[in-house]
Amino acid sequence: ETQKVTVVPARNLIFLSFAIARAEDLGLDEVYYAAHHNDRAVYPDCREEFVDALSKASEISTYHGVEVYAPFIRMTKAEIVKLGLELGVDYSRTWSCYVGGERPCLKCGTCIERTEAFLLNNTKDPLLTGGEWEIAVRVCRGYC
CB contact at 8 A, 43 and 73: no
CB atoms < 10 A from the CB of 107, how many? 16
CA 112 vs CA 51, 89, 105: distances in Å: 26, 20, 10
Burial class (CB in 10 A: 0-12, 13-18, 19+), 77: buried
Residue 22 · residue 29 · CB < 8 Å: no
CA dihedral 122, 86, 83, 134 (to 10 degrees): 30
Residue pLDDT, tens place only, 85-141:
999 999 999 999 988 889 999 999 899 999 999 999 999 999 999 999 999 999 999
**pLDDT at residue 98, as a whole number:** 86
- Residue range 34-85, pLDDT digits in tens: 999 988 888 889 999 999 999 999 999 999 889 999 999 999 999 999 999 9
User: What is the DSSP code (8-state) at residue 5?
Assistant: G
More confidently predicted of 3 and 28: 28
Per-residue pLDDT, 144 = 73
